[in-house]
Chains A and B, each alone.
Chain A
Amino acid sequence: MPSATDLSTLVIVITTAIALMTLAWALARALRRRGEFGSPVDRATYDTLHTAALASQHLHEGLTPQGASKAAKHLRALLGTQAIALCDTASTLAWDGTGAHHREQVWRHASEVLATGRTVVLGAKDVACGDPDCTIRTSVLAPVISEERVVAALAAYGSSASAGLVRATEEVAAWVSTQIELAELGRQRSRATEAELRALRAQISPHFIYNSLAAIASFVRTDPDRARELLLEFADFTRYAFRRGGAFTTLAEELGNIEHYLALEQARFGDRLQISLLVAPEVLPVAVPYLAIQPLVENAVRHGLESKEGVGHVTITATDEGAEAEIVVEDDGVGTDPEVMRRVLAGDQDGDSVGLGNVDARLRQVYGDDYGLVVETALGAGTRVSFRVPKYAPGVHPSP
């Protein structure tokens, strides 16, 4: 058997070898990347693109004072002038470069551009100051246009204004316009997402309310006590279903609500409806979107019983899958044509399957596209609907 010293030497040698290999690989990669841009023209192109990319990072929130002043540094590098300024219709946002005492004048200089949307070149008469050390004599101002409105002006200050500089300033201003429009697009998209989330409120099926009240009514004379109990169940169910507050609850709460729901369904179906539950106690505290499981159970009851003769079984399973929980609702009813189900989940039609598309959309909205509903069904073969929820997801907290 080798001694301990040998083994530790071996470990040190292996570790060093791995470290050296990693270093060599990193070096080789870095060198290869350098070599891809050989000629000076390539280099210049690369540098310009890189500078533009750096500037665009700071413009992704639109024209904010912080973003503008950080982006101005890179924009000045693109134009190569002594100083650069950005101002919007209200005030000067940023000044980068020498001669910062000119900052006060920028907005006055820009007023014409902002009003007309045309590029303006100002000479020493308008720009020069009394300071003998200051070499700023001219200013080129180009409009930044977003959605056919002039939203800002880009001003390049220097000692002289060539035709090339005017052209370059216009191009950079046009590029900034594109970035501002992109930012506006991003804002609109997040507003649309929020609106969609609000629209996707959990839905209660009107059939269920009608059917429950009808079932309760049938007991009022024959069995008043039962009718009272059912009305209380109905009250509990509606309190849960119409509650205000957070969008999430715990699996335990959701199961409690399903209990109320099933008590009402059993009033209609009696012994024809058989329920079995298999719930791992570890997943009871998991947060789920509220009313995410009840529509699945309702769907199973409909397909398992309403359109079928005899007894129907509905199985609700919740299992612990490490960092996730899996929830399955299964029935042995008539099943659905997979093609129909696909259209339901895609949101094209919502006729027969209560709220499945809604639950699917909400799950994807909250947890991402990996976490939608999985439906296994065929005509005459029953239906199995399952989904997974992560035990922890950022921003998801149950409110009981």
Chain B
Amino acid sequence: MNAGLAISAVTVVCVVTLGIGAFGLRLSRTTSDFYVASRVVSPGWNASAIGGEYLSAASFLGIAGLVYTLGADMLWFPVGYTVGYLVLLVLVAAPLRRSGAYTLPDFAEDRLESVPVRRLSSLLVIGIGWLYLLPQFKGAGLALSTVTGAPSWVGGLIVAVVVMANVVAGGMRSITLVQAVQYWLKLTAISIPVFVLLWIWLRHGAPQPHIAASPPGHQWTRPLSGFGGRDHPVYATYSMLVALCFGTMGLPHVLVRFYTNPDGRTARRTTLIVIGLLGLFYVFTPVYGVLGRVYLPTLPHGVQADSVVLMLPMAISPGLLGELLSALLAGGAFAAFLSTASGLTISVAGVIDQDLLRPRINARTGGDSVAVQGFRIAAVAAVVLPFAFSLLSVRVGLADTVGLAFAVAASTFCPLLVLGVWWRGLSTTGAAAGLVTGGVLAMSAVLVTMVGGVHSGWSGALLAQPAAWTMPIAFLVTVVVSLKTPSRIPKGTARTMVRLHAPETLTAGLPKPTPLSY
């Protein structure tokens, strides 16, 4: 395979990302016009930015790979990834914005008025962030080795270095415009090849997918039949849906973007647009899985199903067109790795810096250290550890690992956020107990699955898709412990609740006088 085009596409994406990082500030608007300067980020741009950061390797490559191997059941993945925002919209979007919190630990501290719960949330944010970063590095390695034949660690290393350089240099902190453009870049990269490939497929006389070659024990086209040839497909499907629906609100890089909205109303509108944008993107990804069944009934030995997206153009149309399309896809995939990994790294590094590193540095140096240094050390820590682990764990697919990150988020932050926003009776002790229970249960399930692979039988199903039992347990523990410890309900609960739920125009107290005209 001629790797030149693909390599240049990946290089262009990396260089542009680094360039934007270096000249980041100059993209902001210089003006002497106050009207222009104080225009807030519109919901449309902000929604694109959320989409740009959210669509990760699992979305770009993983879903097609899953549909390719496992068939119709896997269509729930894109549905779940999108529906998570619907749950977010209905349950917590506007109150979360009104809380004024910038990160999840901020919300915990604001609502529960407790620093220990804040620390606990910080640890969980770091855990979930690392778990989510892991597949980004793995996916990058996979993508690069598919299109160029490089060893699988090279791609991950490139992403790790680019992200680290960018974050450490202080660029691409959270420039909304850049992440918004990333969304449209990814949408272009995934949709144009789909149209070209479908056109070629129609010209070939629309051949049927080769279903016989799929793994035995289930039918590729029948829903709820296989889930990867694993046992208890119905349980696995529902559990995964629970994880995706309720995990989105607990992802570290989602709340950060909501802060950019000026108020709760625009936060809701942003979420609505995000659902539309994600839905549009996810129309395209499963098509690759189906076309893969048509043109690549068996994969060459040693090639993972996740790379089917990148191999498809060459299989359908060998020659320049195929090369161009796979270069486009490789570039889009790298954009996906870079934007998601940057967003996560910034969130995780921010939390490490603020809650773990800075108190210790200040204790040692008496507050003399420069704030930027702490953030840089934190950024390196946030990238290096998951990258190292991405070299080790090889047993679980991209979308599966991401699913586990969602499961942990659903079992920890979902109870905290939903009960925190809607229940006056939530006590500090109850919230902490829920976070610990959900975190320990879900994290142990994740570790067992990542280290030992997916086992058969009920134990395997329960461990590989833990959300359906860990999330209700976490909710139950939070509620029961809260009811037992009414004295630990934060003193300011009533005031906080008013602030979270009353529209901004009400909390302003005084109506804004309109300018007189005479």
Which residues from chain A sit less than 8 Å from chain B, CB to CB?
Answer: 4, 7-8, 10-12, 232, 236, 239, 245, 250, 252, 255-256, 258-259, 262, 274-282, 284-285, 287, 319-324, 369-370, 388, 391-392, 394, 396-400
Contacts and interface: CB of A to CB of B under 8 A. Distances in A.
For the complex, would chain A's binding face be called helix, strand, loop or mixed by DSSP majority?
A: mixed
A254 to B, nearest CB: 10
A7 B262 contact: no
B192 interface: no
Contact of A399 (B31, B34, B508): B508
A4 B240 CA distance: 25
Query: 9 closest pairs, A vs B, by CB?
Result: A259-B34, A391-B102, A392-B106, A277-B37, A392-B102, A279-B37, A281-B41, A275-B32, A8-B451
B30 A245 contact: no
Interface in B291-326: none
Contact of B38 (A256, A282, A323, A370): A256
Contacts of A278: 25, 28-31, 37
Contact of A277 (B31, B109, B393, B513): B31
B275 to A, nearest CB: 22
Contact of A282 (B37, B260, B367): B260
A322 B29 contact: no
19 contacts: A7-B393, A245-B510, A258-B34, A274-B32, A277-B33, A278-B25, A278-B30, A279-B28, A279-B29, A280-B28, A282-B175, A285-B261, A285-B262, A323-B354, A394-B113, A396-B100, A397-B499, A398-B100, A399-B509
B150 to A, nearest CB: 15
B269 interface: no
For the complex, would chain B's binding face be called helix, strand, loop or mixed by DSSP majority?
A: loop
A9 to B, nearest CB: 9
Given A281-B39, A319-B28, 5 more contacts: A8-B452, A277-B31, A279-B37, A323-B353, A392-B100
Contact of A322 (B174, B499, B504): B174
A281 B260 contact: yes
Contacts of A7: 392-394
Nearest to B379: A322
A284 B261 CA distance: 9
B437 interface: no
A400 B507 CA distance: 9
Interface string B341-359: 0000010001001100000
Interface string B499-518: 10000100111101101100
Nearest to B499: A397
A284 B32 contact: no
Nearest to A228: B518
Among A239, A250, A258, A392, find the residue whose CB has the most chain B CB atoms closer than 10 A.
A392
B48 interface: no
B375 interface: yes
A321 B40 contact: no
Nearest to A321: B173
B453 A276 contact: no
Contacts of A8: 393, 395, 451-453
A370 B30 contact: no
Interface of B: 25, 28-34, 37-41, 100-103, 106, 109-110, 113, 170, 173-176, 259-262, 346, 350, 353-354, 367, 371, 375, 392-395, 451-453, 499, 504, 507-510, 512-513, 515-516
A262 B176 CA distance: 29
Among A280, A369, A397, A399, find the residue whose CB has the most chain B CB atoms closer than 10 A.
A280
Contacts of B452: 8
Given A279-B28, A281-B39, A392-B103, A320 B394 contact: no
Given A323-B354, A399-B507, A10 B392 contact: yes
A370 B31 CA distance: 30
Contacts of B260: 281-282, 285
A323 B103 contact: yes
A279 B29 CA distance: 7
Contacts of B453: 4, 8
Contacts of A236: 515
A250 B260 CA distance: 12
Given A278-B29, A282-B41, A11 B101 contact: no
A29 B354 CA distance: 28
Nearest to B34: A259
B258 to A, nearest CB: 10
Contacts of B37: 255, 277-279
A274 B31 CA distance: 11
Contacts of B100: 287, 392, 396-398
A320 B174 contact: yes
B106 A11 contact: no
A190 B39 CA distance: 40
A392 B515 contact: no
A392 B110 contact: yes
A236 B353 CA distance: 41
A394 B109 contact: yes
Contacts of A388: 371
Nearest to B452: A8
A4 B103 contact: no
Contacts of A252: 38, 40, 262
B262 A276 contact: no
Contacts of A279: 28-29, 37-38
A250 to B, nearest CB: 8
Given A252-B40, A320-B174, A277 B34 contact: yes
Contacts of B392: 7, 10-11
A275 B37 CA distance: 12
Nearest to A275: B32
A400 B32 CA distance: 24
A288 B310 CA distance: 49
Contacts of A398: 100
B125 to A, nearest CB: 12
A321 B25 CA distance: 11
Given A255-B38, A274-B32, A397-B499, A322 B393 contact: no
A240 to B, nearest CB: 11
A160 to B, nearest CB: 41
Nearest to B35: A259
Contacts of A284: 38, 40-41, 262
A375 B111 CA distance: 36
A356 to B, nearest CB: 22
B183 to A, nearest CB: 17
Contacts of B101: 392
Contacts of A232: 515-516
A302 to B, nearest CB: 19
